[in-house]
């Protein structure tokens, strides 16, 4: 009982500390829509399939989410990104591409719901989407009503072709339109961090992109796309803006898409848990090898991501190509990442004092990837970290 009370008090304290972040906004203050109290988990078409999508692919992926064990691990949302749209009809109502989605979106939503999953679509705050399909500008309430009629549970809302629109105002209109439907719809803001949404988007949306697009590489920029570790760098310092109902979104997972090795993919999954990021898989779930499935369904790493305290982690130390990141958990443990950015294995150390514990404290250490438990570890923990790799542990003070 005392434990539950302590946990509730901790949660309340976080909510109170974070309150003023949105209360000071000049534009309308929205109450929480009550959704996404932990980061959303699901699958999205874009990273693997871009515009090569159709209703059969979506059904196959919904099936694969169930048969692969992903649903049991917590993945819930089946999200159709850009390119599902056809033209607007005579009433201005948006319709799906009739060749690719001949059965219509209501039927597809029903199929997804029939698998015990939730259904999401994509639109854009401008006149066109990034792939030049119809955008929602000027049709926000009409589009939101259409999505609700289809049974949509999640909307990703992009920022292409928005001209001089003000992001806070534009996302606010769609936020209000979604609420006016009366249907609970998670609102994913894909504004790429341009207008610093972490400063104002709490309660406008449930998640906001903090960067331009991710690519299936460890590092380096190509056009507007960035490597995984570069995206991690861009999220340093943003943890304090996230919490239950409103999350930083460093873009979707690339795990299983073939451009990185398993150390790098484990690093992406570990960091997305550390950052309290949405876990949106982006690979071909119907043709996924065992290693990919094992990474995406690591229950201990997912538990860190979904921790009910909802405090995101941040970098606490940087020494050359080594970094230490930490995230407090509801039960008093800390989740810690030792990151090795170099191309050779190195031994790395975290001192308990760096986690706010007494220098000579004793703690139980659990490695979330090797599953090794080390009991009563005094003062510090050291481990060998693979190149472009992480060791991710939880630290339980005794
Ligand atoms: C933008 C977004 C991506 C994706 C594409 C679709 O680049 O940032 O996540 O939705 O558009 O065209």
Rounded CA-CA distance 322/339 in Å is: 6
Beta bridge partners of 134: 128
Residue with tokens 């943003």: 238
| Distance from the alpha carbon of residue 222 to the mean position of ligand 1, in angstroms | 15
Protein residue with its CA nearest to atom 6 in ligand 1: 82
CA of 268 to the centre of ligand 1 (A): 19
From the CA of 394, how far away is ligand 1's center (Å)?
34
State the Cα–Cα distance between residues 189 and 174, nearest whole angstrom. Answer: 10
Give the residue whose CA is nearest to atom 1 of ligand 1: 130
Active-site residue 158, yes or no?
yes
* Ligand 1 geometric centre to CA of 111 (Å): 25
**Which residue, by CA, sits nearest to atom 11 of ligand 1?**
130
Encode the chain (398 residues) as per-residue pLDDT tens digits.
444 444 544 444 444 434 434 444 456 779 999 999 999 999 999 999 999 999 999 999 999 999 999 999 999 999 999 999 999 999 999 999 999 999 999 999 999 999 999 999 999 999 999 999 999 999 999 999 999 999 999 999 999 999 999 999 999 999 999 999 999 999 999 999 999 999 999 999 999 999 999 999 999 999 999 999 999 999 999 999 999 999 999 999 999 999 999 999 999 999 999 999 999 999 999 999 999 999 999 999 999 999 999 999 999 999 999 999 999 999 999 999 999 999 999 999 999 999 999 999 999 999 999 999 999 999 999 999 999 999 999 999 99
Question: What are 74's two structure tokens?
Answer: 């917590």
Which residue among the candidates 153, 158, 251, 284 is catalytic per the annotation? Answer: 158
Pick the residue whose CA is nearest to atom 9 on ligand 1. 213
What residues form DSSP beta bridges with 243?
246
pTM: 0.93
Mutate to test the pocket of ligand 1, among 122, 125, 190 (most ligand atoms within 8 A of CB): 190
CA dihedral 267, 42, 247, 25 (to 10 degrees): 150
Residue 175 corresponds to which tokens in the numbers above? 């936020």
CA of 158 to the centre of ligand 1 (A): 7
The domain made up of 314-397 is a member of CATH 3.40.47.10: no
* Residue ranges covered by each domain of the chain: 2-305, 314-397
Q: Cα–Cα–Cα angle for 211, 268, 301, nearest 5°? A: 120
- What per-residue confidence (pLDDT) applies to 10? 47
Q: Give, for ligand 1, the residue of 53, 80, 82 to mutate: max count of ligand atoms closer than 8 Å to Cβ.
A: 82
Give the closest residue (by CA) to ligand 1 atom 12: 130
Q: What is the per-residue pLDDT for 194? A: 97
Mutate to test the pocket of ligand 1, among 42, 46, 124, 216 (most ligand atoms within 8 A of CB): 46
Question: Ligand 1 — pocket residues by CB below 6 A?
Answer: 46, 81-82, 129-131, 158, 190, 213
* Residues 4/22, Cβ–Cβ less than 8 Å: no
Please tell me the residue having the least CA distance from ligand 1 atom 8: 213
Atom of ligand 1 nearest to the CA of 192: 8
Which CATH architecture group holds 2-305?
Alpha-Beta Barrel (3.20)
Distance (angstroms) between ligand 1 centre and the Cα of 195 equals 17
Give the active site residue among 153, 213, 230, 307.
213
CA distance 398 to 393: 15
């Amino acid at each position: 009982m005392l434990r539950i009370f302590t946990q509730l008090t901790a949660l309340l304290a976080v909510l109170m500390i974070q309150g003023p972040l949105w209360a000071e906004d000049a534009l309308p203050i929205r109450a929480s829509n009550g959704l996404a109290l932990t980061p959303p988990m699901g699958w999205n078409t874009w990273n693997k399939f871009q515009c090569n999508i159709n209703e059969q692919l979506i059904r196959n992926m919904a099936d694969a989410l169930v048969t692969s064990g992903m649903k049991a691990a917590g993945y819930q949302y089946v999200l159709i990104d850009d390119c599902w749209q056809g033209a607007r009809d005579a009433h201005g109502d948006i319709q799906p591409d009739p060749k690719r989605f001949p059965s219509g979106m209501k039927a597809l939503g029903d199929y997804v719901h029939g698998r015990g999953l939730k259904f999401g679509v994509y639109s854009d705050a401008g006149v066109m989407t990034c792939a030049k399909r119809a955008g929602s500008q000027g049709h926000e309430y009409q589009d939101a009503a259409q999505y609700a009629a289809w049974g949509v549970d999640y909307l990703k809302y992009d920022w292409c072709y928005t001209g001089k629109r003000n992001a806070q105002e534009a996302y606010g209109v769609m936020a209000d339109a979604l609420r006016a439907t009366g249907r609970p719809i998670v609102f994913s803001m894909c504004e790429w961090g341009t207008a610093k949404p972490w400063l104002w988007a709490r309660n406008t949306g449930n998640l906001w992109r903090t960067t331009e697009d991710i690519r299936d590489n460890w590092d380096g920029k190509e056009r507007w796309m960035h490597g995984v570790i570069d995206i991690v760098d861009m999220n340093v310092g943003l943890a304090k803006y996230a919490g239950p109902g409103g999350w930083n979104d460093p873009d979707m997972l690339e795990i299983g898409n073939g451009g990185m090795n398993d150390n790098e993919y484990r690093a992406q999954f570990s960091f997305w848990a550390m950052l309290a990021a949405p876990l949106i898989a982006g690979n071909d779930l119907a043709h996924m090898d065992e290693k990919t499935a094992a990474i995406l369904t690591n229950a201990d790493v997912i538990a860190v991501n979904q921790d009910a305290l909802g405090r995101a982690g941040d970098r606490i130390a940087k020494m050359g190509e080594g970094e230490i990141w930490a995230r407090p958990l509801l039960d008093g443990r800390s989740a810690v990442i030792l990151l090795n950015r170099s191309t050779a294995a190195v031994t790395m150390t975290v001192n308990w004092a760096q986690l706010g514990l007494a220098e000579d404290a004793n703690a139980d250490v659990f490695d979330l990837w090797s599953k090794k438990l080390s009991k009563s570890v005094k003062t510090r923990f050291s481990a060998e970290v693979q190149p472009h790799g992480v060791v991710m542990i939880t630290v339980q003070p005794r």
